[in-house]
Amino acid sequence: MFDQESKNKFIIIILIIFNLIICSVCTKQNTEWRGKIEEENGITIVRNPKKPLYTGSHFYLEEDLSLGETKGKEEYMFSRIKIEVDEEENIYVLDMKASNIRVFDKHKEFLRTIGGKGQGPGEMQMPVIFQVTPKREVMVYDVVSRRLTFFSQDGKYLKQISAANIRALVLSLKADLSGNFIGLLSYNPWTKEIKKYNSKLEPSFTIAKKEEKPNQGDVRRMMTPSLKYEISKDGYIIWGYSNKYELNVVNPEGKLIRKINKIYDPVKLSEKSKNKRKEKMIRRMASFGLKAKLLFPKYHPPFLDFSLDEKGNIFVLTIGKDEKKYFDLFNVEGRYIAKVPLKITLSEIILKKDKLYTIDENEEGFPVVKRYRIIWH
């Protein structure tokens, strides 16, 4: 027979063993990816399940910088802006109305202004796209002059390239490490194309082209699929068309080498969400004296946007069942590893050194640049 002390020790040992078994099972469940990787006609297909590898958020965002003022120094007051970040974490703010780029260090101290309004070398009329290129140059696309202008990071004018041969509306244009360009073009409201150009902006090959049915009569189709792309550090192009949850990886020579897809449950578009979009579109059309019947889809698109970090992880912006935004996180191989809820506004996504940069608005409705630290669990 055991005395009471021996019984207590025995019970404690049993509880410890039981807890170790439970922890072991949980760990195995949380670290066992349940997808498949297959080869089809020389293309690697990564098939992801609905649930991610890890349960829980995996990371969260903590705001650590807000840049922009309603009143104060002129260089801190923005109108219509886009942003970029370099390797030193300096922040570049393209002000499309002022036709210049303002540069701030990572502590938001103003450093310099690049460019200015005009038609001469190093000047801009309507800059709409810009990038800090892998060659550490600041590239600006001017939609009026239809040219690319290049500056050094310290603001010195370097060169310009004519884009007059691009017979389409340029929605996005990015340079890769080799000095070639990838562009997202719109030939009309229903036809979009991703195309690669050489260093002289001469077309090399088409990466993807998508066409939607045009609007008929006074009917305007809302929330039509969008074509998105990103360029990895080694020059691979990742693109997706938001009519399905699939990303395509193309090598620098234009060959499709990998597809990343995920099983998902379509999220129904609620009447509340529909009415909010409807009111906004009606106001916009009214400002141009237009009227149309708005036709909405039954479901939200499988994804809204995506971006890459420096490690090659893919952050896919999605809508959850609660109609709130989430990041679906995929690793370099394309495995679905985490789903992270978002409590912030995202109009742009720039990922650099475990930080996320985006554009928000202050209480007065003026744009501000926000930076968030990515805190990994």
Give the side-chain half-sphere CA count within 13 A for 330: 28
- What pLDDT does residue 63 have? 96
- What pLDDT does residue 3 have? 60
Which residue range forms the structural domain that includes residue 52? 40-376
Report which of 6, 55, 7 is spatially closest to residue 32, judged by C-alpha positions.
55
Q: How far from chain centre, in Å, is Cα 209?
A: 20
- What pLDDT does residue 22 have? 45
- What pLDDT does residue 13 have? 53
Asked if residue 261 lies in contact with residue 46, where contact means CB atoms within 8 angstroms, the answer is yes
The answer to the question of residue 7 being in a domain is no
Give the side-chain half-sphere CA count within 13 A for 167: 0
Count how many domains the chain has.
1
Asked if residue 242 lies in contact with residue 303, where contact means CB atoms within 8 angstroms, the answer is yes
Separation between Cα atoms, residue 371 and residue 35, nearest integer Å: 34
The answer to the question of residue 91 being in a domain is yes
The answer to the question of residue 51 being in a domain is yes
Q: What's at 282, amino acid-wise?
A: I
Helical segments of the chain, H only: 4-30, 271-287
Residue 2 CB contacts under 8 Å (≥ 6 apart), including other chains: 10
The answer to the question of residue 80 being in a domain is yes
Report which of 201, 217, 236 is spatially closest to residue 312, judged by C-alpha positions.
236
The answer to the question of residue 25 being in a domain is no
The answer to the question of residue 1 being in a domain is no
Which helix (H) or strand (E) segment holds residue 330: the answer is strand 325-330
Asked if residue 302 lies in contact with residue 318, where contact means CB atoms within 8 angstroms, the answer is yes
Instruction: State pTM to two decimals.
Output: 0.89
C-alpha pair distances (Å), 375 with each of 53, 62, 67, 341: 18, 7, 21, 13
Separation between Cα atoms, residue 310 and residue 84, nearest integer Å: 14
Instruction: Kindly tell me the burial class for residue 52, based on how many C-beta atoms sit within 10 Å of its own C-beta (0-12, 13-18, 19 or more).
Output: buried
For 122, the token pair is 């190093």
Buried b (16+ CB within 10 A) or exposed e, 276-290: eeeeeeeeeeeeeee
Neighbours of 152 (CB within 10 A): 12
CATH number at residue 351: 2.120.10.30
- What pLDDT does residue 354 have? 95
Separation between Cα atoms, residue 195 and residue 212, nearest integer Å: 18
The answer to the question of residue 186 being in a domain is yes
The answer to the question of residue 166 being in a domain is yes
Q: How far from chain centre, in Å, is Cα 352?
A: 12
Which helix (H) or strand (E) segment holds residue 159: the answer is strand 157-162
DSSP type of residue 189: T
Asked if residue 181 lies in contact with residue 141, where contact means CB atoms within 8 angstroms, the answer is no
Asked if residue 301 lies in contact with residue 223, where contact means CB atoms within 8 angstroms, the answer is yes
- Dihedral angle at the C-alpha atoms of 329, 244, 174, 115, nearest 10 degrees? -90
- What pLDDT does residue 20 have? 46
In the chain (377 residues long), the average pLDDT of successive 10-residue segments reads 54 50 44 92 97 90 95 92 97 96 98 95 95 97 96 96 95 96 95 97 97 88 95 96 98 97 96 93 90 94 96 96 95 96 90 96 91 93
- What pLDDT does residue 214 have? 87
